[in-house]
Amino acid sequence: MAMKIGILGYGNLGRGVEKAVAANSDQELVAVYTRRDPAGVQIKTPGVKVLSADALEGGKEDLDVLILCGGSATDLPEMTPKYAALYNVVDSFDTHARIPEHFAAVDAAAKKSGHIGLISCGWDPGMFSVNRLYAASILPEGEAYTFWGRGVSQGHSDAIRRIEGVQDARQYTVPVPEALERVRSGERPELTTREKHTRECYVVAKEGADLKKIEEEIKTMPNYFADYDTTVTFITQEELDRDHKGLPHGGSVIYTGSTGENRHVVEYRLTLDSNPEFTGSVLAAAARAVSRLNKEGVNGAKTMFDIAPAYLSPMSGEEIRAHML
Amino acid sequence: MAMKIGILGYGNLGRGVEKAVAANSDQELVAVYTRRDPAGVQIKTPGVKVLSADALEGGKEDLDVLILCGGSATDLPEMTPKYAALYNVVDSFDTHARIPEHFAAVDAAAKKSGHIGLISCGWDPGMFSVNRLYAASILPEGEAYTFWGRGVSQGHSDAIRRIEGVQDARQYTVPVPEALERVRSGERPELTTREKHTRECYVVAKEGADLKKIEEEIKTMPNYFADYDTTVTFITQEELDRDHKGLPHGGSVIYTGSTGENRHVVEYRLTLDSNPEFTGSVLAAAARAVSRLNKEGVNGAKTMFDIAPAYLSPMSGEEIRAHML
C-alpha cells in the first residue's frame, strides 16, 4: 500500500515535492494544505484535494508523513514542533545557527507524540552535510570546503528586490574557478569569502531610477554582497523573464584529507536544473525513511545523519545489495 | 575508553587499516593476526603484538572489532563467516556476483553469535555503492555511471605477471575523458566497455622474452583486456620501481537523473594517492559504527547501506549537528 504523504505550503518547494511524490510509485499524495484560501490554489496532481491548513489540527488527517514546505525564517521554527506533535514530519530548516534549538523543540514534541521530526533535509543542509560527515569520519586528518553555484540564490535576489528603484532581480552565486581548482588539487588553501565566490546580479530598474545608486547599494550591502566581488548588470523585465526564469543551482563539497604523506580528495558535486525540484526529491525520499523508521518504533528529532541509506530506497535489502553494492 | 581493534592479514590493506586506526584517537590496535610466521612480520605501531591467527580461535581475544584484510577470491568467503561467529567483523569482499551468498553465510553466523558482520566495505563496493543508492533514491528517473581510475588495478597487474616471459607489471585503468564529459553533461549516453575505460600496461620483460608475443597475449586476454583499448609499454625494472611504485586510484559515480524536463547531475569523485590506505580508512570508520551498533543490540550481516552516517563519526550528535549540518 502506498505511503500517504501530505504537503504543507505550495510555493516552489511544495511544487517540487509534489513532482517528486508523483514520481515515487510507493507514495501517494493525500492533499496539499495551505494557509491561503484553498480555492485559489491550483495543484498539478489530478484528483488531489487542496485543503486549509486548519484541516491538520488535532491530527485528524490520515497521513504517514507531512512534508513542511515553509520558510526557515519564521514558518518552520513554529510549524515543525507544532506538527511533530501530530504527524511524522520532514522539513528543510536551513538557518544554521538556530539548528540546535530547532532540533531540541522538534525532539521534545516528537518524542512526546511518538512521531519522527526529520529536520534540515535537502542538499545543504542535507546531502552536502552527509558528505562532509562521511569524508571527515573516513579521513580525520583533513578539511572540508563547500562551494555553491553556479546558481540562483533566492535570498540574495530578494535582498536586491527590497532596494528602492528595483523592480525585479536575479542573483547568481558563482564559485571562483581558481579556488575550486586549488582545492581539488589537494593543497588545502586558506580562502577568504571573496576568494571562494563571486556574485552576479541581473537587475530590472524601475523607470527613472538612479542606476548608479542601486548598484552602489547592492555592492555595499553588509553580509549579502560587501564581502564579495559583485557585478551588477541592468536588464529589461523581458530579458529577465526570458533568460533568468529557472532556478538552477548546485555546488561541491570537496574534502581533502591525508593518510600520512598520501593525499586523498573526495568531491560530491551537484549540478541542478531546478533547486526546488531536487530539494523536493530529497524530502520525498526522506519521507519514505521516516515512515518506515516510525513503524519500527523510532521517534524524536532526526537529521539525515541518523538515516541509514537503505531506508531511503523503495527497494528491498536483497535488491539493493544485488544492484547497487 | 578506546575501541579495541584487531587486524587479520598484513598485506597492503592491513597496513592501510593500521595507519587509519593510528589516526583515530578513539581506537586502539590490540594486535595484528597473521597466517604467516608472526616472527617474520614487522608492523609499524610501537608496542603492538603480531600474533598467529590461531590466537583468534574460540573468541578468546578481547576485541571490539576484527578487521579482515584477506582477499575476496578465496580468503573472505571462508574467513568472514568463521570469525563472525566469534567477533564483530568488517570485510571488503568485492566479488560482486557472490555477494548474496556471502551475505547469507555471514548473516547466519553473526545472528547465531550475536555479532555484526559488515561486508563489502571500502570505496567500491562501499562509498560508491552508498552514493549510487542515495542518488537513485532521490531521483528514481535516472541512471548511474561508474568510472574507475586513473589508478592501478592490482588484479590486472597480477594477470599480466602470470604471462610467460613477464617479470613485473603495473596496469592503470583510465576513464575515457570524452565519455566522462558526455555523462557529466547529463545526456545519458549508452556506452560500451571500450568507450568507458582504456588500459595502460607497463611491463618488465624477462631477458630474452618475446615482446611481441607478450603484448599480443595481454591485448587478447578475455575479460581482462580483450574488450578494451589497451596499450603496452615495456620498461625496465628500475623504471617500474621508480615511476610506478604507488597504488593511486579513484574514480567517479555519476548519476544523471531528471524531474520532468529538468536534469540533475550528481557526482561523487575520489582521487586517491593510496587505494589501500583510503580503503583501510573506510574500514576503520566502519568498525567504529559496528562496535557501537553491536553495543545497542544490533547483530547479523550488514553493509554500508545499513549504517546511518552518524555512527561512523567519533563526534556526538550535538557536535555533528553543530559542525557538519
**Largest Cα–Cα distance in chain B?**
66
Q: Where are the alpha helices (DSSP H) in chain A?
A: 12-23, 75-84, 99-113, 127-138, 154-161, 177-184, 193-196, 211-219, 237-243, 275-295, 317-323
> CA-CA distance, B8 to B20, in Å (whole number)?
15
Residues of chain B contacting A325 with CB distance shorter than 8 Å:
96, 99, 120, 125, 129, 303, 305
List of residues 6+ apart from A322 with CB closer than 8 A: B99, B100
The one-letter amino acid code at A217 reads: E
Nearest CA in chain A to B123: A325
The answer to whether the CB atoms of A137 and B313 lie below 8 A apart is yes
Residue found by looking up cell 511544487 in the block: A15
**For chain B, what percentages of helix, strand and coil (3-state, to nearest 5) are there?**
40, 25, 30
Residues of chain B contacting A305 with CB distance shorter than 8 Å:
308-310, 313, 317, 320-321, 324-325
Q: Which of A13, A119, A259 to mutate to test the interface with B (most CBs of B within 10 A)?
A: A259
Distances, alpha carbon A131 to alpha carbons A136, B130, B214, in Å:
8, 11, 44
> In degrees rounded to 5, what are phi and psi of residue B258?
-145, 155
Residue A13 has pLDDT above 90, yes or no: yes
Q: Is A190 helix (H, G, I), strand (E, B) or coil?
A: coil
- At B113 the pLDDT is 98
Nearest CA in chain B to A103: B321
Residue found by looking up cell 592479514 in the block: B9
- At A1 the pLDDT is 83
CB-neighbour burial class of residue B150 (10 A; exposed 0-12, middle 13-18, buried 19+): middle
pLDDT 10s digits, A286-309:
999 999 999 999 999 999 999 999
- At B67 the pLDDT is 98
Nearest CA in chain A to B314: A137
Mind telling me how many Å the CA of A173 is from chain B's nearest CA? 18
pLDDT 10s digits, A95-139:
989 999 999 999 999 999 999 999 999 999 999 999 999 999 999
Of B302, B307, B312, B311, which Cα lies nearest the Cα of B99? B302
Residues of chain A contacting B268 with CB distance shorter than 8 Å:
131, 266-269
Buried b (16+ CB within 10 A) or exposed e, B222-243: eebbeebebebebbeeeebeee
pLDDT 10s digits, B102-140:
999 999 999 999 999 999 999 999 999 999 999 999 999
> CA-CA distance, A45 to A16, in Å (whole number)?
12
For residues B234-254, give the mean pLDDT: 97
The answer to whether the CB atoms of B137 and A309 lie below 8 A apart is yes
Residues of chain A contacting B269 with CB distance shorter than 8 Å:
265-269
- At A287 the pLDDT is 98
Q: Which of B256, B305, B323 to mutate to test the interface with A (most CBs of A within 10 A)?
A: B305
pLDDT 10s digits, A185-202:
988 999 999 999 999 999
Residue A168 has pLDDT above 90, yes or no: yes
Q: Is B305 helix (H, G, I), strand (E, B) or coil?
A: helix
CB-nearest to A308 from B138, B285, B307 is B307
pLDDT 10s digits, B201-210:
999 999 999 9
pLDDT 10s digits, A255-290:
999 999 999 999 999 999 999 999 999 999 999 999
- At B1 the pLDDT is 83
> CA-CA distance, A110 to A84, in Å (whole number)?
5
Q: Establish, for the pair of chains A and B, how many residue pairs have beta carbons separated by less than 8 Å.
A: 204
List of residues 6+ apart from B78 with CB closer than 8 A: none
CB-nearest to B312 from A125, A134, A268 is A134
The answer to whether the CB atoms of A136 and B313 lie below 8 A apart is yes
Nearest CA in chain B to A288: B137
Of B182, B197, B268, B193, which Cα lies nearest the Cα of B231? B197
Q: Which of B259, B291, B298, B302 to mutate to test the interface with A (most CBs of A within 10 A)?
A: B259
Residues of chain B contacting A296 with CB distance shorter than 8 Å:
none
Find how far residue A235's CA is from the centre of its chain: 28
Spatial strand order in the sheet of B89-90: B49-52, B27-34, B3-8, B65-68, B89-90, B116-118, B300-302
What's the CA dihedral at B285, B287, B290, B296 to 10 degrees? -90
> CA-CA distance, B70 to B86, in Å (whole number)?
17
Nearest CA in chain A to B126: A325
> CA-CA distance, A32 to A13, in Å (whole number)?
12
In terms of phi and psi (left: phi > 0; alpha: psi -120 to 50; beta: otherwise), the region of A191 is beta
Render A46-67 in DSSP notation, one character per residue: TT-EEEEGGGGGGG-S--SEEE
